Amino acid sequence: MDYHLYGLGPTYPVGMSLTASALAFAGDSIVLENGLTQAELFDHVFGGGNDLLAWSFVINIALAGFTILGIAYLGRNLTDPRAKIIAISLMLISVVSISSYSGLTSGLTLSVIEMPAGHPAEGMTTAGEDGVLTMWGRYLTWTFSTPFILIALGMVAGSNWTKILTTVAFTIAMCVTGLAAALTTSSLLMRWWWFVISSIFFLVIVYVILVDWTAEAEATGTGDLFSTLKLLTVVGWFGYPILWALGVEGFAVLDVAITSWGYSILDIITKYIVTFVAMFYVIEEPEAIKGGDDYGSSLPGFTPADD
Ligand code: RET
């Protein structure tokens, strides 16, 4: 005799103990309500008919790869430790990005999710399954990519670790609550409540960039570069919640492929363009960027022979 765990997932013969992974799988199915297998999701995106969506993923894998190689090439002669940290932070943005888009491309971080009662996309179906295609991997991986954008920006501005880590903590909180907004299926009100909390965390970051770091960059001597990066970042970042609200997660005015292209274009601005603008400045190693040989050293006066 077989029994079915919560009516979801595989069946287990009596006598066979439930392993931790089986339980985790069952839990995952409940949270994500994913009725399609990974292979079916992959086929839905890449099996033809969804080329627009497929390209919005693949283009970013190519761009992230190009950016990683570009930084390695441009940064090959960097000597100052502070300039190097900025370059490494910039590279890590694309390292996360190539992984993020690989997750979306493989179908690993996609799910079909049924929207709660009253949601404009309620009752929609995707590939024969009730629900809408949710690219939840995007919200998850922003948790790991946005901190590196903020570390690079804060260091360009010449800020301190207290402020940099404050923005890092708030961006993690913003992304995790954004993920919660996308995955909440119990109530429409709760989806928007998560959205509101996430937006408040977002405003903390915007405040630090516009007020603290703008003033600090002027004093550091990186004011010109910072104002370009600030414009690209603040304008670009505001695009994400707007797109979320207009896309299938929110008011469902835009379809999934257009929403996905929207995010992919915003990613091009906030990640790769920001990276190259900063990188071309940093490789000149102007005095305002330099930290000196002892920078970040735990033993001042001792220069590690790592290069
Ligand atoms: C969400 C929805 C909830 C409200 C807010 C959001 C903001 C997202 C932002 C994302 C930025 C992402 C970047 C990624 C680069 O890798 C989660 C969409 C405020 C600002 C820059």
Whether 271 lines ligand 1, by a CB cut-off of 6 Å, is yes
Measured in Å, residue 132 CA sits from the centre of ligand 1 at: 20
pLDDT in 10s for each residue of the chain, 307 residues: 344 444 444 454 554 555 655 555 555 555 555 578 899 999 999 987 889 999 999 999 999 999 999 999 999 999 999 999 999 999 999 999 999 999 999 999 999 999 999 999 998 999 888 999 999 999 999 999 999 999 999 999 999 999 999 999 999 999 999 999 999 999 999 999 999 999 999 999 999 999 999 999 999 999 999 999 999 999 999 999 999 999 999 999 999 999 999 999 999 999 999 999 999 999 999 999 999 888 888 777 766 666 5
Contacts 24+ apart (CB under 8 A), 237-244: 237/202, 237/205, 237/206, 237/270, 239/266, 240/266, 241/195, 241/198, 241/199, 241/202, 244/178, 244/181, 244/182, 244/195
Model pLDDT for residues 217-248, shown as the tens digit of each residue: 999 999 999 999 999 999 999 999 999 999 99
Amino acid at 231: L
Phi, then psi, of 112 in degrees rounded to 5:
-100, 120
Query: Tokens 């979320």, residue?
Result: 244
Residue type, 138: R
Atom of ligand 1 minimally distant from the CA of 194: 3
Give the pLDDT of residue 27. 52
Q: Which atom of ligand 1 is nearest to the CA of 97?
A: 16
What is the per-residue pLDDT for 47? 87
Tell me the CA distances in angstroms from 148 to 143, 144, 172, 278, 301, one per residue in order: 10, 7, 11, 13, 28
Q: Long-range contacts for 163-166 (Cβ within 8 Å, ≥24 apart)?
A: 163/208, 163/212, 163/213, 166/204, 166/208
pLDDT value at position 33?
Answer: 54
Q: Whose CA is nearest to atom 6 of ligand 1?
A: 241
Q: Tell me the best of 240, 263, 267, 268 to mutate to test the pocket of ligand 1, counting ligand atoms within 8 Å of each CB and taking the most.
A: 240
Question: How far, in Å, from the CA of 273 to the mean position of ligand 1?
Answer: 17
CB of residue 244 inside a 6 A radius of ligand 1? yes
Rounded (5°) CA angle 298-300-306: 70
